[in-house]
């Protein structure tokens, strides 16, 4: 189905995707890296205050909940910009709750997704201007 109806108007997700040629920007990507670094420093500094293992696990638990929230918000912001995620968005969110290095992997992965989407959009704009 081409997205065009009998009344001449085009509808659907494909039309919305075609209409957006602005570059994609990951809103929380840099913030994730900064907070991960600060969290690592805090985890290393907590034993100096004599808190021990419960304090370390508390910091790690709070960090994971916070990271999963930021990853959820970032995925949502990227989807609003027209980036399709599919089911993997649920996996990224869930894994951020459990695994400590998922945030760094997400940072790397989203950088690739944003770059790929921006290249695709610039190619689409270039090809549409060449057709005219």
Supply the range of the domain harboring residue 89: 28-117
Is 21 inside any structural domain?
A: no
Backbone torsions φ then ψ of 24, nearest 5 degrees? -80, 140
Is 0.85 surpassed by the pTM of this model? no
* pLDDT tens by residue, 32-72: 989 889 888 988 888 888 888 888 888 888 888 889 999 99
* pLDDT tens by residue, 69-122: 999 999 999 999 888 888 888 899 899 888 878 999 999 999 999 999 999 888
Structure tokens at 130: 């060449």
User: Which residues pair with residue 4 across a beta bridge?
Assistant: 10
CA distances in angstroms from 30 to 6, 34, 91, 120, listed in the order given = 46, 6, 20, 22
Is 48 inside any structural domain?
A: yes
Is 123 inside any structural domain?
A: no
pLDDT at 6 over 70: no
Is 1 inside any structural domain?
A: no
Is 5 inside any structural domain?
A: no
User: Which residues pair with residue 10 across a beta bridge?
Assistant: 4
Residue 26's closest CA among 118, 96, 123, 127? 118
Is 62 inside any structural domain?
A: yes
Number of domains in the chain: 1
Q: Which residue has the higher pLDDT, 17 or 88?
A: 88
């Amino acid at each position: 189905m081409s997205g065009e109806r009998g009344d001449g108007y085009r509808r659907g997700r494909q039309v919305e995707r075609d209409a957006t040629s602005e570059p994609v920007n990951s809103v929380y990507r840099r913030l994730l890296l900064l907070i991960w670094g600060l969290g690592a420093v805090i985890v290393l500094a907590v034993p100096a205050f004599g808190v021990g293992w419960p304090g370390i696990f508390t910091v790690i638990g709070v960090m994971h909940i916070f990271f999963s929230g930021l990853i959820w918000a970032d995925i949502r912001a990227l989807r609003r910009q027209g980036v399709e995620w599919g089911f993997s968005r649920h996996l990224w969110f869930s894994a951020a709750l459990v695994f400590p290095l998922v945030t760094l992997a997400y940072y790397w992965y989203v950088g690739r997704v944003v770059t790929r989407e921006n290249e695709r959009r610039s190619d689409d704009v270039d090809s549409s201007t060449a057709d005219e």
